[in-house]
Amino acid sequence: MNRLVGTLTRASFAGVIKHRTRGWPALDHPPGLPLIGTPPPHLRLTNPKSATLTSRTIIVRMMSTIVEDAKRLAAYRAVDGHFPRPDLAPETPSTTPLIIGIGSGSTIVYVVERILQLPAPLLSQCIFVPTGYQSRHLILSGGLTLGEIDTYNDLLIAFDGADEIDPALNCIKGGGACLLQEKLVAVKARKFVAVADYRKLSSSLSTCYLPGIPIEVVPPAVSYVTNKLIALGSVNPTLRMGGAAKAGPCVTDNSNFIIDAPFPNGVMGLTQGIVTGGGVGPNEAVEALAKSIKSIVGVVEHGIFWAGDRKPIVAYFGMQNGEVTTRPLNWVI
């Protein structure tokens, strides 16, 4: 297996083609690699089903590596481009603490990884404000100075991930159930920078991130809010469960519940029925939906990051080919 894994490089996965080999199932084959008529001896299995699992496992692992590489590329570029660097302007020294917001999610791991590579004297000037337990742990485990979210109201910048970003830089966030504190940190920051991989690029919200818009609600309001969301055009809004490790609903850091509300066919009265599967729709529909959801009694916060709250000033997307795509706010759509 090591011989085969060694040949499956990230570059060879720039595109894929379909093929079927004798005795093997159909699988995505990286261009540039020879088609295999029969499995090589070190992969030859008597049970074809076992061979199927082996080949698919290799591909899944390779695709996972591509995604993680894309996240790291975007995170590094974002930190390099936006982390405040008073140490590079010695003619104007400052002793004022640099207050930095650190978001949540898998991409933020690489943001912190890059920050930890900055000069120690610079990091000694910084205070890092987390959006939840995960980012708090990243800050502390990295030996960085922790600041509490309720203490600092003027952050220089906040770095955070996103579950989906449309052409107008409206974002869906909250897949990790930290949306309230993520939004609070974002609105406190002078600059909000989003970091994501290529899978989060979207032509319309609620098309790529299939669970839909996360909405944090007080527990007694779940039924009422769910009915209101259906009236707005949501398809099967669902109370998020806690997963295998917890019986019952997912509970946020603020002791609330999460409803995931997909809007794959638009917003009632605005884009509903115009294009089936077209998502929330253009910027005007996103803003109208954000206002409508926030007006529902029992809603604490929703996961739409829009102009009425805070959009990122720029979004960095790590791509499959090893490049980084940058989308600034107000770019030409």
The residues carrying an active-site annotation are: 182
Radius of gyration of the chain (CA): 22
Q: Which H helix or E strand runs over 164?
A: strand 164-165
107-128: burial string, b at 16+ Cβ within 10 Å, e else: bbbbbbebbeeeeeebbeebbb
Q: In DSSP terms, which residues pair with 197 in a beta bridge? A: 318
In sequence order, the 6+-apart residues with CB closer than 8 A to the CB of 230 are 237
Q: What is the largest CA-CA distance in the chain?
A: 71
Q: In DSSP terms, which residues pair with 299 in a beta bridge? A: 217
Q: In DSSP terms, which residues pair with 326 in a beta bridge? A: 316
What sections of 8-88 are H helices per DSSP?
48-82
Q: Output the DSSP codes for 111-163.
A: HHHHHTTS-HHHHTTEEEEESSHHHHHHHHHTTPPB--TTT---BSEEEE--S
| Amino acid found at 260 | D
What sections of the chain are H helices per DSSP?
2-7, 48-82, 108-115, 120-123, 133-141, 179-188, 222-232, 283-294
Dihedral of alpha carbons 287, 289, 294, 296, sign: positive
3-state helix, strand, coil in the chain (%, to 5): 35, 20, 50
Burial class (CB in 10 A: 0-12, 13-18, 19+), 295: exposed
Q: Which H helix or E strand runs over 216?
A: strand 213-217
